[in-house]
Amino acid sequence: MVKKVKFRTRIVWRKTRRIRKYTYKIPKGVIHIQAGFKNTIITVTDERDRVIYWSSGGTCGFKSKRKRTAFAAQTIAADASRIAIGQGMRQVKVLIKGAGLGRDSALRAIRKSGIIINFVRDVTPMPHNGCRPPKKKRL
């Protein structure tokens, strides 16, 4: 949806987020937490892995170095779980991927929001001595 905003001399068109008219209740779902070293991304899906909502550091208003902090991950998780509760979600499975700072704080925020967590699984990809790793960064 495009919204017309009038400034002093020019008209600017801005995109606005569309509000859903029809929502269906989803009692169970899966929350995917991807905690990288630069950002944390949380995706809420139903049991068939259809995306309901996603949130990241940038969508919650954090920029550059603040996106990687534990506080940003806590805010992202609270935002995503609020939408999940609004959809009628009561029980979730949590899949955590990555080794960033936002792992624990995101899980803590989901638990605090009132959603019942059935189980937590770490799905971080670990090599079984497969491909050669990229060369180290020089600082």
Q: Is 93 within 8 Å of 122 (Cβ atoms)?
A: no
pLDDT digits (tens, 9 = 90+) for 40-83: 999 999 999 999 999 999 999 999 899 999 999 999 999 999 99
Q: How far apart are CA 16 and CA 14, in angstroms?
A: 6
Flag whether pLDDT at 19 surpasses 70.
no
Q: Which H/E stretch holds residue 30?
A: strand 28-35
Q: How far apart are CA 91 and CA 25, in angstroms?
A: 12
Third-level CATH fold of 25-122: Nucleotidyltransferase; domain 5 (3.30.420)
Q: Is 78 within 8 Å of 44 (Cβ atoms)?
A: no
Q: What is the dihedral of CA 89, 90, 93, 98, to 10 degrees?
A: 70
pTM of this prediction?
0.78
Flag whether pLDDT at 6 surpasses 70.
no
Q: Is 81 within 8 Å of 53 (Cβ atoms)?
A: no
Q: What is the mean pLDDT of residues 84-106?
A: 93
| Residue among 30, 56, 34, 43 nearest 125 (CA) | 34
pLDDT at 66: 93
The two three-digit tokens of residue 58, written as one number: 């940038």
Percent of the chain with pLDDT over 70: 83
pLDDT at 20: 61
